[in-house]
Structure 1
Amino acid sequence: MDLQKSPEPRREPDGCLVVAVRLPVRIVVLVLVVPVRMVWDALVVTGRLLRDTVLKPLGRALLWIGRALFVWPFVALWRYLLVPFGRALAWLGRVLVVVPAVWCYRYVLTPVGHALVLLARGIGAGLAWVYARVLVPVGRALAWLVRYLVVVPARWFHTWFLAPVGRAVAWCARGLAWLLGLLVTGIGLALYWTARVLFVLPALALWRWVLAPVGRFLAFVAREVRDALGHAWRIAGRISRAVGRALGTLFRWIFVEPVRWVYRTVLTPVGHAVRDIVLRPVAAGIRAVGRVTREAMATARDTLRQARAEFRRTLFGTPRQPAAVDRREPVARDTRTLGRSTTALTKD
């Protein structure tokens, strides 16, 4: 950790002109910005309240309605109609198209293709023989004729006629181009100095002695206005927060505290009294009535069950009881013993 603080950059003292421009600009901007900042803060608070109390619930409701109207029907349509229909189409395409196509390729097109390959090989062999035995000798003869009847005369004509004429024409063209370049260079220099004297030097003087100072002054004024706007916006924010706190405190003293006092000192005791005097006895009575009703219903169900049993016994008689089976282990000497290896099932 560096214990020595880095030296802050030194600011040059402002001149009288800077102070004379800065103070009136900041005062005017502060007077204009304070109402705008207070209106802005009020709009921000209103927007947050609307967002939390209206827009978010409305957005959730619209989202649920959109899902119910658009997403879920399309999901159900995709899942329960389109997917089974697509699987059925895929199965039909496989049965009606893919399987016949594979069979046709395997048992029809493949043999025909092999036959066509053999035929093409035979035709290729015949054409190769024709090329080697006929076309090659004819081509060589034509090449010899073209070389000695066309190429050699054309080369001689180019070497002894066209090349000297072309060199002479090129030399004349270079000389003409040199003259034209010299003429264009002279005209360009004359136009350059004319334009420099008539346009560039006056424009440079205008920029250096008029426009640049005016631009620097306007930039200084714009920078001061920008700084004044930022400073005034921060001060207006503090003023707006102070006004908001004062209004909040006044609202709490005028409305919230009286309502809280009424709720705490009046409504809460009244609510407790109503709960203890009215609601609890009524709830106890309702529970007692419910308990009595349940007992009466249970008694009625038992009576109805007994009557149904008596009626069945009257019509069909008493049902036969199953014989009791003794599931206990045998006693006396037939039981399993711990001192012998024999049991009741393995004894002699």
Structure 2
Amino acid sequence: MEMDKRPPADGGDGCLVGVIRIPVKIVAVLVVLPVRVVWELLAAAGRAAHRHVLGPLYVHVLQPLLRALGWLLTTLLKLVFVWPWVGLWRYVLTPVGQGLAWLCRGAYDHLLAPAGRILGTYVLRPLGEALAWIGRGGMRYLLAPLAKGVTWTLWALGMTLFVWPWVALWRYLLAPVGRGIAWLAAAAYRYVLTPVGHGLVWLAVAVFRYLLRPVGLGFVWLVVALYRYLLRPVGLGVVWLAAALYRYVLTPVGQVLAWAWHVAGRIAAALWRGLKRVGWVLVGWPASRVYRHVLTPVGHAVREVWRTGRAAVREARAAVRQTLFGTPPVEPARSRARTLGSTTAAGNTPAPEISLHERQG
């Protein structure tokens, strides 16, 4: 028996394909065809109107009218807002400004400058020289002696009020008191503070020599003896006990725990493999059987229904296009597919997925 079953050469389809194709063609002819015809007619009418009516109307009527309107609006704006100000500036303000500038320059050159030179030469300069001569004479013969007398008076008053009282206070009061205080401080340092300091130093040396030093030596000896005869033996005993505990207790217990952990891991792995096997038997294998023998054929049937409906719609469109425009029908893409090693077109229905065991059975 051949493994590759192909459709008949005449392109015949099964019963299911015929049952689905006929209603689809009816719907395509009754619904799709009128809508498509109306759409094509509207599109053709729109293109014709744009080509023969709207385009020439815009090019020959609206575009010149809009250009003329833009030029008129621009000219009106210039006439109202630009040209009056340009004319005012060019023919009124500029000549008036030039005339005022010429008048100002003439008045300065022929009137203000000569008057200023005459006034400065014959009036202001002599007047300034006279005032300067009067000021120098008054300063020399009147203000200078007066300033000298005022300065001497202020110096004497300042010395009397601010200098001589402080000098007398320092000379007759603060200096003797300071010398007395210095003599008393020197005497107190020599006859009181020095003997007291020597006594305190001798006392400190004696306390260190006869009290602190023996106490310190005794404390050091006590610490050394405590370390040598108590802490060191106890530490060595603790170290020996810890080493023995590690060697004879912790190491065997650790080895036992590691072996138990390894055995528990193997047991857990065996349990996990058993659970996986049970899950496959209870869930995985039934699900694979359902997918292979139920869902896969149903999916193939749905795919065939969809392909058949789509092919029917394509054929209806091709028939409508041929009827309206006379174009030859386009061969569907599925009819151009070729099977491997064959020159005939492959059908829509794929080869049934039947194992060799089922075919032989």
TM-score, normalising length from structure 2?
0.36
Q: Which has the larger radius of gyration?
A: 2
